[in-house]
Each structure stands twice: as structure tokens, then as C-alpha cells.
Structure 1
Amino acid sequence: NKNKFPLTLDSLMYFFVALINNPYYIAIKKQLHRVYKCLFINPIRNGKNLASYFKNNGQEVYALIEIDKIKDLLKSKILTDEKEEFSPNIYTKYFFNVDQVLESGIAFDCIIPGCESGVEVCDYLCHKFGLDGNNYATTDYRRNKYVMQEQLKLNGLAYAKSKLVNLAAYKKITPADLTGFSFPIILKPATGTGTKDVYFCYNIEDINARLAQVEYGATNWTFSKTTHFVIQEFIQGTEYALDFVVHRNKSYIIVVSKYFKNFKVENRFLTTESVFLSPDNTEFSQLIEYGKKVLKTLGVSNGAAHLEFISNGENHCLIDIGARMRGGGDPWFYSKVYSIGLMEAIYDKYINNGRNLKNNVLLKYGIHIALNTSKSGIFRGLTSNEKKRLAQLPLLKELTLYPKLNQPYKKTTDLLTSIGVATIIGEVKKEVSKTAREIHIILKNHIGDWYENIPSDIDHCK
């Protein structure tokens, strides 16, 4: 009503002052401009990239690096220089043990695992700070590969038959220990990661020979001590990986990929190629819904989760789960092939209260190649001809070779001994497949001829 409230300069000023002093307006403004305090637990590799993403988007990032647990890894060069691995310039502050975090007096807004080694501590600290996290009482469901399969079994889901071996009490596996198993058999650390010390055993002699090589109590890649191994049945089928982001028990599918393996290297479980597929394809609907059941069964209620399945038609069996962001490869890759990237989805869960989370859609076709080598050698660099041929591949978006010039490299036996990665992105499936084959051929002198067993063919992947 213009008569009661004339639009004068004074009335507009009165309205403006009343607005900016309104408690609801103040609360909304604080929320919009709020800087979150985000603690990352052992952020290496992709976890470090995730922390950088949070920082680049205006958040305050901290890191807990359990340095006492990883001294052995640094000494053995499994991890490289501390500064290179953890990039201290990213963080507002470093902590080196859990007590320092608890005594810091900082009111963290979110706590996020930076890799598999951060999962258990993350669960514990989320519990202590009263933050969104996964139940600390059920961490073993997600970390211990024997307990994981037993939990699936107890809840009526498909499981891989498993037997736990305590290395402290180990003498020799006998035929009686393997009642109900048939060869080949998988041997793996109970709390391992990255395919480290995972073996394919054809007979009982293989099992005993591998166990005899294990150093009891050695620090593994999860920064824990190796005390138990799991003997597990080998399940054949097609291997898929699903990546979810879970917000307060509601799961969103972000990535669907199919794995191809290289059987010529020592560790036949190494993924050689990951082909990225469309989550909205009805072909994967049943697998995705089954993945959601697994998440609930294993107690994943918040955060990122990476699940690996063996599938045979309509039957699916979980092989492993990581309650953290997917490792391996360039994390920026996902935002180039999907409508929302994996890091963006994780960021939205913690910073935007999951407001923008939704099931993902494939925009372009993509293949991620792990450059595993079937031989050891000295890296002499790429020849001018190799560089020229690679430069002629327009769909090759990234090629990273890890060895330094004139430095030795090892035969690939696990995730950390791959000599490089390549990513291919394009709009035509046939051209993406063709580019993958070309990369294998061009780099034959560096990686060997194992690529002949890899189809590099996504024409059949919808």
C-alpha cells in the first residue's frame, strides 16, 4: 500500500537495515559464506587431490598423517619422499597422531578418509566429534576381508567362501585346512589394499610357499600390521566396480566401470583397463540395486564407497569394498565423462548437505589404462617416433610415466609398481577402443606384449 508505506529513500533504508539485522537473514548469509573445516585422514594420491579440490573451492583443509605408522614404508621407498606424498603446503595445519586432533580444540565440520589407510581412524574420529560417518563398531565389516564375507553370509547375500590364517600361529596349511575348497584359490592379506600380496594359487604348495615369504607384523599399505591372511575361493565372471556417494543412508551411483585384467604379469588381479559405463543403463540396474544392499549390510551410511563385484548374469558377489574415494587414475577424469565428477559429488555431500546429489549419467566414453609392465628395465625415455605417434592420438587426454629418465623400474607386481597411466575420452566408442590399442602398440618396448590379451573393446559395453 503506497499510502501506508511510501517508497522513499528513508523507507528503503529502513527496510534494508531491518533485513540485514534479521536473525534468519544472518543465518542464511553465514551458511552461504561459511568456510568449512575439513580434516583428511592420511591423504595420499587421490586423497591429496580431493583435499586440494576442497581447498580450491574455498574450504579450510587439515590433515592427519600417522607418521609413526608409515616410517617403514618411507624407508622401504614404497612411499616416496614425505613432502611429495603429502604436500604440506595444501593444509592449514598438520597432525601426526589422533591425540593431537582430539586435543586441538578445532570444531571440524567433516572428516574424510584420504585413502584406505584412513578409513578406520576416520570412523573413530567421526564418532568422537559427533559427525556424519560410518559406525565405528562395524569398521571391520569394511576393512577386514574375512569379516566382510562372513557379514555378507550372515545376511543372506552372496559371499566368497573364506578361511582366516593367523600368521603368528601358522605352520603349514594341510589338506584338512582346505576342506570345501577347490583350486585355484586366492590368497590375500586380511587388511590389505592395492592388490599388494594377492596371489593366485594352483595347489597347496603354492599357498605354503607364499605364506612362508610373508613377514609377520610388517607394515602394509593400509598403515596397519600384517598379521592375518585370507584363503578365498576363486569366483569366475565379469568384474565390475561401482562408486557410490552416500548421504545419511541414501546412496547415489556415480561411476560404473568394467575391469579388464592382465594375466601375463605376476599378479593376475591387477586391473589393466577400466572401461567407464553409463549408470542409467538398465543393463546395470540390478547390479546397482544389489550394491545398495551391500552398502547397508556392511554399514556404509556416509561418504564415498568403492565396490568391486564378480558378476555372472543376474548373480553378483562382492569381492572387495573401500569406504573411501576410488584410488588409482586421475580423479579429474570422472568429471570429463560423467555429468558430475566423483570429487564434485563427495564435495556436495559434505559441504552442500547433499543437495545436488543424484544418480549419474555418462556423457562421453572413456578408458583408463594402467601401464603395467611384464619386465623390469631402465627407463630411457620415449623415442622421438613414440612421441610423434602419441601426439597423433587426439583422444589421448593424459599420459603419465612414473620412472625418471635413466632410472630403473620393476616388473609390475601390484598397484604401486605400474609404470604409468593413460586416459582416453571420446564420443565414438570405436575410436576410443582403437586409441587404447594404439597406445599399447606404441609403448610395447616399455610395457611388453601382454596387451595382445586385452580386448580394448567397448563396443559391447552400452
Structure 2
Amino acid sequence: MKQYVALVDVYSSGNFLPQYFRDAGFSLIHVQSTPELMPSMLGPNLSEFEHNLAFNDNAEEIVQRLREFNVVAVIAGQEPGVPFADYLSEQLQLSTSNGSAGSRARRDKFEMINKVAAAGLLTARQIKSSDPQQLLAWVEASHVFPCVIKPLSSASTDGVSICHNVEDVKRACEEVISNLDIFGLANTEILCQSYLKGPEYIVDTVSRDGQAYVCGIWRYVKREISGGKNIYDRDVLIAPDSAEANVLVDYIVQALKALGINNGPAHSEVILTEAGPALVEVGARLNGNMEPRFHDISLGGNQAQLTYLAYCDGEAFKANYAGKRYQKLKEACVINTDTTLQGEVTGFNDSAIQLIEALPSVHKLSVKYKAGKLMKKTVDLLSSPLRVFLVSESQRSIDEDYEQIRQNKDHVYVIR
């Protein structure tokens, strides 16, 4: 009997999922948690799916449609689809469902931190409110400057600001409330957290029945710019058996358990403070920097393929991956460049692109803006104009190429 996998909200890196299920002989259904596709992110290639089911304020209708097929897994393709994937998989009584009871804490950052703190893990102190004055009163009474202001349920550092004084808090709150998040949803409340000092890391995992495989651990290098924006610069792969990796993995395994992410991928961000690791947030989805071949070369596997295996061949996953960690096969780095350029993209400088692509450690260059788009000064991950994947036997080669990329990044686009 034909078997189907339903992918909910396949945006951005979620587009790497379909190929692994299709290659294994599964048919695909795409489910939209919104009536129309979200325009703010790269959407799904609907030609890869036999059916596309769009939610129109009737969740039961989607459940009934899915019951017409032999659906063996329902998986979130991107952050907005997490609650709906939880609900649908639960309604279909799939053994790989994370259940809907914990869905809110897997999306709402305030509830997420509360749940992890309730499990006895170190976290930031926090408050949420729709009233900036209430946040200001809490910050001043609690003596938590610097503090962090952010939306409750966005991603990619969207709307995140580090605040050092009262004026910073006022400005950051106004920015959150007056803008939609990257998923096109209104920000009705603001999250304020104490600032966690220390290096920040990515810990990527895939789980089956509560047993996690660590796909990769990357150290963030960020730079704080004017306006309290802490922008991405690069992610650097660390050794899986290092002392810092051991501490981070122990913490994240407990955090995943607290949040009920027992099945599927997770992209966690953690700061290693003097008191120990403390969670920034967890996304129950693929890493946004997912690039399968790059990860295969540097890590010996990739999160998208492992997600397929965890859902559709659980015994093989548990036998070969559960409780284990990636291999560091090569030195690796992902650069998200910044820019101060602003204006309409009218074209591209092929010589600058070719120069970057010819650097010894460059695996892939992703040019994010298309001709006709408006480029703005980088304030978050979404406004980064270039993503460059670097891999090499030598860290020195990567460091040298990084400097060359920094020197040439602003020559790639023609702006007017």
C-alpha cells in the first residue's frame, strides 16, 4: 500500500526534506498552516508533492483529508508548522507525534524558557508584556541591564535587540510591536530577558522515541552593531568530544526532554555562561543553515537525511545513531556576511562572485538577493546578503579565505 509523509509549512531549509522521502519511495503531501503561502521565506516546490492542503480555519477538514491516505509521518518543515504538525500527527495517532500538549512551549519563547527552568535547568530571567512600561519597571527593579528584547515566536534574530539603558528598551519595544514577525504575524507581546554572557553555540539534533543523535555543534561568532543588534558573522564547527561539547550535549538532551521534543529535528541555541549552559531557544525543525552535501563532507551526515531515517526507519536510526554524535571530518565554517549597502539590486559583479567561489575552502556561495529587490543595512540574519559555506583540512585556509570574503563581500551586488 502506498505510504505518504505529510510535511507542514515547507519553507527555507525545509525544502531539503522532500528528496530523502521521495528517494526512499514515499509519496508526499504538503500542508499549509495558512490559507496562502507566506511570502517572507523561500516556499515549497509544490511539484514535489502529490497534494497541497491549505488550512482555512477548519483543522478537522485537514485531518479528514489526511485520513484518506496511508500517512506514516507528519513533520514540520519550518517553525510556523510545528503546532499544526503536532496536532495532525496526534489526531492521526502516529507513534512519532510529539503531541499537542507541549506545542505552545515549542514555539512561544516565554513558555519555552519557563518549561526548561521548571525542569531545573539554568535559564535567563524573563518577563513578557504588551506594555513597554511594565517591562521597563521590571528591568529597573531587577537590575538586569543589559537585557534582551525580542518577539515571542519569531526566528533568525528577527526583532532581537540587546539593550543597555532605558532608551534602548523603549526603542526595541517599539520596533517589536510596530512590525510583523518574519512569518507575517503580529507581535502583540514583547519578551524581555536577562542578558546571558558567554560564547553561544548551535546544537543540532534528530530524535526518535526520546533518543537523540547530535548532528553538529557550531560556535557562533557574532558582532554587536549600533542599535543593539547582535548580528551573525560566522558559525564554526567544534570537536564533538571537546569539554564544551560534553557540557552542551548533556544540557540539550535534558532541554529536549523538558520540551517534549521526542521525535524529529531540533535546532538549539545555547550560551555557555560562567554558571553553565543556558538556553536561548529551540526550534523543532532543521537548522536554517542546512546544506546537505556540505554537512555530509564535514560531519559525515546531514540533519535532513537523518530526519527521514528517524521517522521512517526508526529501528535503523536507533541502532546506528541514537545516543551518538557526529564526526568532525574537516574544519568547517558558515559565513553570513553583513553590509551597510542600501538600495535596489540592479545586477551582480561576476568577477567578485568568481573570486569568492574560487577560494580554496569555499564549498558554496549563496547570493540571497535577486535583481529588483531592495537591499538594506544588515540588522539580522534575513538581511544578510551572502551565505558562504567553507570546508577544508586546514583552519588556516578557512581563516585566510574568510578575510578575502570580508574584503570582497560588498562588491558582489550592483546597487542604485
TM-score by length of 1: 0.80
User: Which of the residues 144, 167, 187 maps onto 1:226?
Assistant: 187
Paired residues for 1:292-371 under 5 Å: 292-312=253-273, 315-356=276-317, 357-358=320-321, 359=324, 360-371=326-337
1:191-210 per-position Cα deviation (integer Å, ceiling 9, x unaligned)? 12121111122222222233
Q: Secondary structure at the match of 1:318?
A: strand
Paired residues for 1:151-166 under 5 Å: 151-165=115-129
Q: 1:127 — aligned with what?
A: 90
Q: Which is strand-richer, 1 or 2?
A: 2
Q: 2:383 — aligned with what?
A: 417
**1:139 equivalenced with 2:103 (yes/no):** yes
**1:200 equivalenced with 2:162 (yes/no):** yes
Q: Could you list the runs of 5+ residues in structure 2 that have no partner in the other structure?
A: none
**1:441 equivalenced with 2:381 (yes/no):** no
The Cα of 1:412 is off from its aligned counterpart by 1.7
Q: Structure 1 residues 258 and 213, CA, compared in 2 at 3 Å: closer, same or farther?
A: closer
Paired residues for 1:375-414 under 5 Å: 375-379=341-345, 381-383=347-349, 385-405=351-371, 407-414=373-380
- d(CA) in 2 for partners of 1:432, 1:175: 43
The Cα of 1:43 is off from its aligned counterpart by 0.4
Q: Secondary structure at the match of 1:367?
A: strand
The Cα of 1:295 is off from its aligned counterpart by 1.1
Q: Is the 8 A contact 1:63 1:91 kept in 2?
A: yes
Worse overlay, 272-281 or 154-163: 272-281
- d(CA) in 2 for partners of 1:156, 1:286: 15
1:227-279 per-position Cα deviation (integer Å, ceiling 9, x unaligned)? 21111111110011101111101111111111111323656333221112232
Q: Is the 8 A contact 1:186 1:234 kept in 2?
A: yes
- d(CA) in 2 for partners of 1:329, 1:343: 8
- d(CA) in 2 for partners of 1:189, 1:198: 7
Q: 1:270 — aligned with what?
A: 231
Paired residue type of 1:435: D
Q: Secondary structure at the match of 2:237?
A: strand
The Cα of 1:329 is off from its aligned counterpart by 4.7
The Cα of 1:40 is off from its aligned counterpart by 0.5
- d(CA) in 2 for partners of 1:108, 1:336: 32
- d(CA) in 2 for partners of 1:264, 1:443: 18
Worse overlay, 298-307 or 401-410: 401-410
Paired residue type of 1:209: R
Q: Is the 8 A contact 1:158 1:317 kept in 2?
A: yes
Larger Rg: 1
Q: Is the 8 A contact 2:360 2:397 kept in 1?
A: no
Q: Structure 1 residues 69 and 267, CA, compared in 2 at 3 Å: closer, same or farther?
A: farther
Q: 1:11 — aligned with what?
A: none
Paired residue type of 1:355: A
The Cα of 1:189 is off from its aligned counterpart by 0.9
Q: Structure 1 residues 374 and 236, CA, compared in 2 at 3 Å: closer, same or farther?
A: farther
Q: Structure 1 residues 215 and 230, CA, compared in 2 at 3 Å: closer, same or farther?
A: closer
Paired residue type of 2:74: I
How many residues are paired up? 401
- d(CA) in 2 for partners of 1:59, 1:364: 33
Q: 2:219 — aligned with what?
A: 258
**1:290 equivalenced with 2:251 (yes/no):** yes
The Cα of 1:64 is off from its aligned counterpart by 0.6
**1:60 equivalenced with 2:21 (yes/no):** no
- Give the % identical residues: 22
Q: Is the 8 A contact 1:117 1:221 kept in 2?
A: no
Worse overlay, 315-324 or 382-391: 382-391
Q: 2:395 — aligned with what?
A: 429
Q: Secondary structure at the match of 2:123?
A: coil
- d(CA) in 2 for partners of 1:445, 1:267: 26
Q: 1:6 — aligned with what?
A: none
Q: Is the 8 A contact 1:133 1:303 kept in 2?
A: no
1:402-445 per-position Cα deviation (integer Å, ceiling 9, x unaligned)? 22346531112222222121111111221122212211112244
Q: Secondary structure at the match of 2:52?
A: strand
- d(CA) in 1 for partners of 2:137, 2:353: 56
Q: 1:8 — aligned with what?
A: none
Paired residue type of 1:41: V
- d(CA) in 2 for partners of 1:265, 1:108: 49
The Cα of 1:144 is off from its aligned counterpart by 1.3
Q: Secondary structure at the match of 1:362?
A: coil
- d(CA) in 1 for partners of 2:283, 2:355: 38
TM-score by length of 2: 0.89
- d(CA) in 2 for partners of 1:54, 1:174: 46
- d(CA) in 1 for partners of 2:63, 2:101: 19
User: Which of the residues 70, 83, 86 maps onto 2:44?
Assistant: 86
Paired residue type of 2:83: E
Q: Structure 1 residues 162 and 383, CA, compared in 2 at 3 Å: closer, same or farther?
A: same
